[in-house]
Structure 1
């Protein structure tokens, strides 16, 4: 996956929803930042989006920053449970993504265009294309894992902008926002500037001082994954299929799978290869898999299951 050409299985091009005559680079609208109805989901980085504002507030904004779109209904208890969770995270991430809320009862055509069958449904939009995230109400830690993976994909595709506060609560919430941890500032600034090597160096420097820093480990693993998948050979899957003992090919395909959201496929590929290798190759695969565990999150259920399989494969 290259930075200049975003492509993911299942992605939906939303450019057809652009209003006739509207330029591709139109400035984002300002009228969709009214307080969210129901669920208490207003916030600095929360937009209420309707069909007239969809182009400006979702498609155009997605050129510079990931837009997380929450399809919801005031009739859905799961929707009202999830909305405050996403709003809280949008404030915590401080502009790394925007949260766009769409009431499907008031905007049935938008729901139909994306194929919404039940709510809540959460997708992301990067450069006008949909990236499926999850369906149903999740806990805050679960939702955070999906958002972290989304931001990894965004950086890999050159989307490193940070949004300015847009909601009516911006002034009060801005004062209440927690101060970012200065330990990660250097690395995060490098990521925002697209300087992956600088971010890697910053995280490695931090880990020398605090080797058990879980957030630094996860950040380093995510940036390294992005760097590895910047220029993937077009024939890499063919190479891996034809040469099951090609450890480097298997590792790279696993990276690509993870970037595309196919977490279990990535884990299974590496574990299966571990089972047929030995020595230094097996150890390299093991360490690579542990890195991917850090990217996904060590508490993720898929990681827990894969870790059990890894232990069985090794012993």
Structure 2
């Protein structure tokens, strides 16, 4: 994940590092695009879905996809697997508010709940699948015993639930207003700040051709607009360190006006990731050193 995004040669990626994995897809497995995300959310009313967001640049990512497939396959008919390639569908990853790759989420009854980030060991993976199968049984989505320790859905205030739903549905203007309205009465709320910043990120990249944006950033290292867009695309793909580094690498030698633009964009990306993320802390410390 920490490769220099702008100079990555995607044609050199080995087959075993494909975000899709090397095993055969499961019978009811789906690949998620921006166009069918809402349909997948709607269908989770009937079928519990494990949503896995990953990328070809995740070390060992393909092997982990295969491990997830094997674990989900043991509960065929109870758990559906949905895969999101963050490089091919960065706006989906952004709408899901992914911070690290791989990231697993539970989709159920039209709601999305984070499960874990980063690859987990096989025994942990099996435990998660057992709990999800039990949860499906509890909710009447399969036959089985009700669990005593199934994961509980995280609860957001209704206003933020509404704003998040608008974001996931692609209503960026509505989502932005909803997040900003909430911030007016709850200044500094981290979830609202993150949602508003994520919506701005998606708005900036709405009309961008991903490959052209990446190519422009690689071909024009001195073009500020191209580099700011490159940082946005890095973050959309879940490559947090690359996004921060792209901006910070240019900060030291920049003039005052350019520094202002770089800092403004960096702080916005900090809000997308979240203040409690250690990568944000490290980037803030580097920014402070460069400022003085």
TM range (shorter): 0.5 to 0.7
Task: Classify 1:305/1:119 alpha carbon distance in 2 versus 1 (closer, same or farther; 3 Å).
Answer: farther
Contact 1:200 1:224 in 2 (8 A): yes
2:185 to 209, 221, 229: 209
Aligned mates of 1:66, 1:115 — CA distance in 2: 28
Instruction: Find the counterpart in structure 2 of residue 185 from structure 1.
Output: 161
Instruction: Find the counterpart in structure 2 of residue 168 from structure 1.
Output: 137
Contact 2:95 2:167 in 1 (8 A): no
Task: Classify 1:120/1:164 alpha carbon distance in 2 versus 1 (closer, same or farther; 3 Å).
Answer: closer
Aligned mates of 2:252, 2:158 — CA distance in 1: 42
1:179-216 C-alpha deviation (Å, 9 max, x unpaired): 54123133123123320111011112222222211110
Q: Which runs of 5+ in 2 are unaligned?
A: 1-9, 53-60, 72-79, 99-106, 111-134, 141-145
Aligned mates of 1:122, 1:222 — CA distance in 2: 33
Instruction: Find the counterpart in structure 1 of residue 27 from structure 2.
Output: 55
Contact 1:11 1:129 in 2 (8 A): no
User: How is 1:105-254 mapped onto 2 (pairs within 5 angstroms)?
Assistant: 114-116=62-64, 151-152=96-97, 163-164=108-109, 167-170=136-139, 180-233=156-209, 234-254=211-231
Aligned mates of 1:126, 1:286 — CA distance in 2: 39
Structure 1 residue 66, shift from structure 2 partner: 11
Aligned mates of 2:31, 2:237 — CA distance in 1: 23
Task: Classify 1:250/1:297 alpha carbon distance in 2 versus 1 (closer, same or farther; 3 Å).
Answer: same
Instruction: Find the counterpart in structure 1 of residue 264 from structure 2.
Output: 287
Structure 1 residue 130, shift from structure 2 partner: 5.1
Contact 1:200 1:223 in 2 (8 A): yes
Aligned mates of 1:128, 1:295 — CA distance in 2: 22
SS of the residue corresponding to residue 137 of structure 2 reads coil
Structure 1 residue 232, shift from structure 2 partner: 2.0
Contact 1:196 1:223 in 2 (8 A): yes
SS of the residue corresponding to residue 312 of structure 1 reads helix
Task: Classify 1:61/1:203 alpha carbon distance in 2 versus 1 (closer, same or farther; 3 Å).
Answer: closer
1:267 to 235, 244, 268: 244
SS of the residue corresponding to residue 27 of structure 2 reads helix
Q: Which runs of 5+ in 1 are unaligned?
A: 1-6, 19-53, 68-93, 102-112, 133-146, 154-161
Q: CA RMSD in A?
A: 4.6
Contact 2:234 2:243 in 1 (8 A): yes
